[in-house]
Amino acid sequence: MRHRTDVAGPVLRALLGLVVLPLLSACLPAPPAGPAPLGTFSVAEATIAEMQTAMAQGRVTSRELVAQYLDRIARYEGTLNAAMTVNPRALDEARRLDEERRAGRVRGPLHGIPIALKDNIHTTDMPTTGGALAFDGFRPPYDATLVTHLRAAGAVVLAKTVHTELANWVASGMPGNYSALGGYGLNPYDPRPDPRDGWSDGRPALSVGGSSSGIGTAASLWAASVGTETSGSILTPSNATMLVGIKPTVGRISRYGIMPITADQDTAGPMARTVADAAALLGVLEGPSPDPRDPVTAACPRPPGGDYTTLLREDGLRGARIGVPRAHFYEPLVVPGESAPRGGLTEAQAALMAAAIDVLRRQGAEIVDPADVPSVVAPRRDDNILAWDICAGLENRKGADAGCSVVLKYGMKRDFTAYLQTLGAAAPVTSLAALRAFNLANRARNAIRYGQAQLDISDEMDVERDRERYEADRARDLRLAGTQGIDAAIAEHRLDALLFPGSSGAGLAARPGYPSVIVPFGTVPNAPRPPLPADFAARPAPLGVTFTSTACSEPRLIELAYAFEQATKRRVAPELFP
């Protein structure tokens, strides 16, 4: 396992030995000193549009962009642990794209742009491991559909990012961005491990979210990245690392070639430093037409030309109706049948969200407050989504799972098994049972440092015998989160979107597969429980705002998010990684 302190680990050894040292010796008179860029154009905080303009003007080449990012990875990877692997052919790929540009061929807005992928997305030329020891070194027999789209658009796949192992469906309590292969990723806004007794196992003191990783994108180790989400795994890390994240409607982007949890909720999506960058990336990921290998990709119409950047309007908030779901998401709420309240915001979080609402008003939006989600405030426990959790952990094994949704654990058994079958003879394991057995046999190698409760409760599901229970739970998920949840709130108040603090609404939108866009807005004290030591001097935690609506509403959400971003411009770069 590669630990954060292993600065000569596999990524850096490959990077230094195969790419950076030959590059520096060939192209520079001496190694660079300090954080200065390799050329006159700096990639630090540069947008995709700025890179394209610079390449068009001849001020920088794609190869030089890649070289700068590789230099930053070499400089900062030992501290952050952002990458699982780096593409040793990235410079050559960028050179070929530069040759195309000189010949007059520019494929689109991502031509020559270095992008990173979550390490559960298939690439045939780099390992795809999911962070799992059983998949160490695994090269899949086919590319993910979205990777095919990226390459056709001229993107350079620079690296695979760390992430929570198997998209955080291995164990209960696994820290964000931890995996058996990757170790612990740290947050560029406070890249220190947690010092608290009982928590000092290497995990970050400032959460990085999960299961996707925003670490490298936030620190400008690449232009943008592609994450995946089943329930919060794009929105949560974007919130934690001050990024824009677009969690699309399930089906807008093909899932073919992505390690699954459940097809009911899985999706890929962009993570970037600006709404414009995320919008440009979304159009490429979606592709020009539905994927026959993922039938739900016909669910949503594409914008004209597949170009979401045409939706970037500074006046996009004028006349918009934005709902504030106060109950639970802003203010504590007692769930029927319980005595203690749940949810609510701290004083600092509430003040930040009040400031965000003021911005929306000043930009011409009509605020509907409150615009509570009906299933959140439903007085009957059977109709209240807060009383209907996802089955997770050994406490929700078979026989003890009557009060929770089996959709994820059933889906993992159904869809991960089907996924393994697509790998043919290349499959490292052939079933969940075989994966669990491998993990048990390799405990000494830290295969399951936090156990494998999620795999255990998934493997006990029987796809045929448990189908009726799954279908009933799936219908209830859709009713409580969709029909009587987001759909009802949007319709009742005639809203364009609901406004959630941070990623707090991610789980609600995940069940019906609805889209959200999160935008950075500010910081609040990092105040976990139990508290960090007073002399630790914890740095503040980012907090964004999320716009959420019904299926296929990404075009409107991008308009709203861009207008909010342009009115605020509150994202700041992590100062420790200039």
- The catalytic residues are 118, 211, 233
| DSSP-based three-state secondary structure for 518 | strand
- Specify the 3-state DSSP secondary structure of 39: coil
Task: Quote the CA–CA distance of 302 and 290 in Å, as a whole number.
Answer: 10
Q: What is the DSSP letter of 193?
A: B
| Residue 148 exposed, middle or buried by CB count within 10 Å (0-12, 13-18, 19+) | middle
Cα distance between residue 487 and residue 481, in whole Å: 8
Q: How many CA atoms lie within 13 A of 489 on its CB side?
A: 33
> Tokens for 368?
């509907």
CA–CA distance, 210 with 234 (Å, rounded to integer): 7
Query: Strand 321-323 vs strand 183-184: parallel, antiparallel, or unpaired?
Result: unpaired
Query: HEC string of 305-328?
Result: HHCHHHHCCCCCCCCCEEECCHHH
**Rg of the chain, C-alpha, whole Å:** 23
Q: How many CA atoms lie within 13 A of 51 on its CB side?
A: 32
Rounded to an integer, what distance in angstroms lies between the CA atom of residue 114 and that of residue 128?
A: 18
